[in-house]
């Protein structure tokens, strides 16, 4: 078995109108001149960045996706429309041969432009592969409500953001929730995607008849969050899934305290800012059962997750499971977001509840 290898033509600077030809030429060269590579294309990814440095980081993140890289990635460096307006573009084909299995080929186009926002779709649209869905990853905080945002989301099927990278995560979460309700494309947050292992472990103990009734009687919940939006979205998830109604919320230093009315009583919830190498460090919930209090706890020591379940009358159940490895660049979870199509209703409901925690 050979070790994986990756070859790429160098980026070629070409006029936007010549990009397709340049890519075709590079594809042919990639096959040693043997003819056109047959492509099984799946998706376009447009990455919207503010400057070259961000654009290069985005490229590195896409390349790290390897086999999950979209068929064509367009990195748009959208600079403010100052001075003389123009467009520069570069293109290349990347061939990746993994240790086993067939080759993967994807195409990268970088466009640096300071045209007026209303012309951006005209710049981007011709560069997209036809008939394939368009994912748009907006690096940093999207300028919600501004023309550039409206323009580019109008040609998008799915908008990917990472609320952990928002300039003002908490306030911007509210703005995000406001647009999710009205935007045409589906919206997904990498921070929400990174919560999936936590949600799975928190849901698992309630799959059996023993603890399921206790889910209706959660009395106390604490989330220790390194990423503030992750903490809020997780709390929003509990509230939306379990039918909780927010009664009061206050922020005191590092702690967000929220009290809920639940179908069967009340629940006190806390999101506490923490330090750590994971998006959350701990989630702890306590609930009432007929035999006394029970608890579920998930913690994140380095490299794995630990789920502990304590039920009256039974030995404590503790298990350690894997944690998805983080990429070295780009938002963790980007690859997973590119596998999903359609609206994520569970996320949207959780986001609405999370946004309610943010003062206006």
Closest CA to 44 of 154, 138, 136, 153: 136
DSSP result, 225-262: ESSHHHHHHHHHHHHHHHT-EEEEEEEETTEEEEEEEE
- Estimate to the nearest angstrom the gap between the alpha carbon of 143 and the chain centroid: 17
Q: Which 319-338 residues touch other proteins, going by CB under 8 A?
A: 319-322
Candidates 142, 185, 193, 330; binder of other proteins (CB under 8 A) is: 193
Closest CA to 39 of 24, 19, 22, 29: 24
Using the minimum distance from each CB to other proteins, give the nearer residue, 17 or 209: 209
Cross-strand partners of 282: 224, 299
Window contacting other proteins (CB under 8 A); options: 20-28, 44-52, 95-103, 130-138: 95-103
Residue 233 has φ and ψ, to the nearest 5°, of -65, -35
Whether the Cβ atoms of residue 142 and residue 168 lie closer than 8 Å to each other: no
DSSP result, 66-100: GGG--SEEEEEEE----SS--EEEEEEEEEEE-SS
Candidates 305, 351, 354, 355; binder of other proteins (CB under 8 A) is: 305
Tell me if 1 contacts other proteins by CB under 8 A: no
Tell me if 185 contacts other proteins by CB under 8 A: no
| Angle made by CA atoms 172, 173, 178, in degrees to the nearest 5 | 95
Tell me if 83 contacts other proteins by CB under 8 A: no
Window contacting other proteins (CB under 8 A); options: 125-133, 143-151, 165-173, 201-209: 201-209
The CA distance from 240 to 261, in Å, is 12
Site map (CB under 8 A) of other proteins, residues 229-268, x = contact? --------xx--xx--------------------------
Candidates 168, 200, 245, 291; binder of other proteins (CB under 8 A) is: 200
Tell me if 307 contacts other proteins by CB under 8 A: yes
Using the minimum distance from each CB to other proteins, give the nearer residue, 93 or 307: 307
Tell me if 116 contacts other proteins by CB under 8 A: no
Whether the Cβ atoms of residue 305 and residue 324 lie closer than 8 Å to each other: no
Candidates 62, 311, 334, 355; binder of other proteins (CB under 8 A) is: 311
Candidates 8, 50, 204, 249; binder of other proteins (CB under 8 A) is: 204
Using the minimum distance from each CB to other proteins, give the nearer residue, 213 or 274: 213
Using the minimum distance from each CB to other proteins, give the nearer residue, 122 or 346: 346
CB contact burial 337-360 (16+ within 10 A = b; e otherwise): bbeeeeebeebbebbbbbbbbbee
- Tokens 């036809």 locate to 130
Tell me if 154 contacts other proteins by CB under 8 A: no
Least spacing, CB of residue 3 vs other proteins, in Å: 13
Window contacting other proteins (CB under 8 A); options: 171-179, 219-227, 248-256, 303-311: 303-311
Give the orientation angle of helix 228-242 with respect to helix 345-355, to 10 degrees. Answer: 110
The CA distance from 164 to 332, in Å, is 10
208's CB contacts (< 8 A; 6+ apart) are none
Least spacing, CB of residue 112 vs other proteins, in Å: 30
Using the minimum distance from each CB to other proteins, give the nearer residue, 52 or 212: 212
Using the minimum distance from each CB to other proteins, give the nearer residue, 43 or 48: 43
Residue numbers at the binding site for other proteins (CB under 8 A): 38, 40, 42, 67-68, 98-102, 104, 193, 196-197, 199-210, 212, 215, 237-238, 241-242, 301, 303-307, 309, 311, 314-315, 317-322, 340, 344-347
């Amino acid at each position: 078995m050979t070790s994986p290898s990756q070859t790429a033509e160098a980026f070629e600077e070409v006029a936007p109108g010549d990009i397709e030809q340049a890519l075709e030429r590079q594809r042919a060269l990639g096959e040693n001149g043997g003819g056109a590579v047959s492509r099984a294309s799946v998706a376009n990814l447009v990455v919207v960045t503010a400057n070259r440095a961000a654009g290069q980081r985005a490229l590195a993140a896409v390349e790290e996706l390897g086999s999950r890289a979209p068929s064509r990635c367009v990195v748009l460096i959208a600079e403010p429309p100052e001075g003389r307006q123009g467009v520069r573009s570069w293109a290349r084909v990347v061939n990746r041969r993994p240790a086993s299995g067939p080759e993967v080929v994807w195409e990268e186009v970088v466009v640096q432009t300071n045209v007026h926002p209303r012309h951006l779709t005209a710049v981007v649209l011709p560069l997209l592969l036809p008939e394939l869905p368009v994912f748009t990853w907006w690096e940093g905080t999207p300028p919600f409500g501004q023309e550039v945002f409206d323009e580019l989301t109008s040609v998008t099927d799915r908008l990917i953001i990472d609320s952990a990278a928002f300039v003002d995560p908490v306030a911007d979460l509210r703005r995000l929730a406001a647009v999710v309700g009205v935007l045409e494309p589906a919206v997904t947050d990498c921070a929400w995607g990174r919560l999936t292992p936590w949600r799975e472990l928190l849901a698992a103990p309630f799959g059996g008849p023993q603890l399921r009734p206790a889910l209706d009687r959660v009395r106390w919940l604490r989330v220790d969050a390194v990423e503030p939006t992750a903490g809020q979205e997780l709390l929003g998830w509990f509230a939306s899934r379990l039918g909780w109604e927010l009664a009061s919320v206050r922020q005191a230093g590092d702690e967000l305290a929220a009290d809920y009315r639940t179908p069967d009583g009340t629940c006190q919830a806390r999101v506490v800012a923490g330090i750590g190498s994971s998006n959350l460090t701990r989630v702890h919930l306590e609930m009432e059962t007929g035999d006394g209090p029970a608890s579920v706890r998930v913690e994140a020591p380095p490299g794995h997750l630990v789920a502990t379940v304590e039920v009256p009358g039974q030995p404590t159940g503790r298990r350690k499971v894997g944690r998805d490895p983080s990429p070295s660049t780009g938002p963790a979870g980007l690859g997973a977001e590119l596998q999903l199509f359609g609206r994520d209703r569970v996320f949207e409901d959780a986001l609405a509840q999370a946004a309610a925690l943010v003062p206006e």
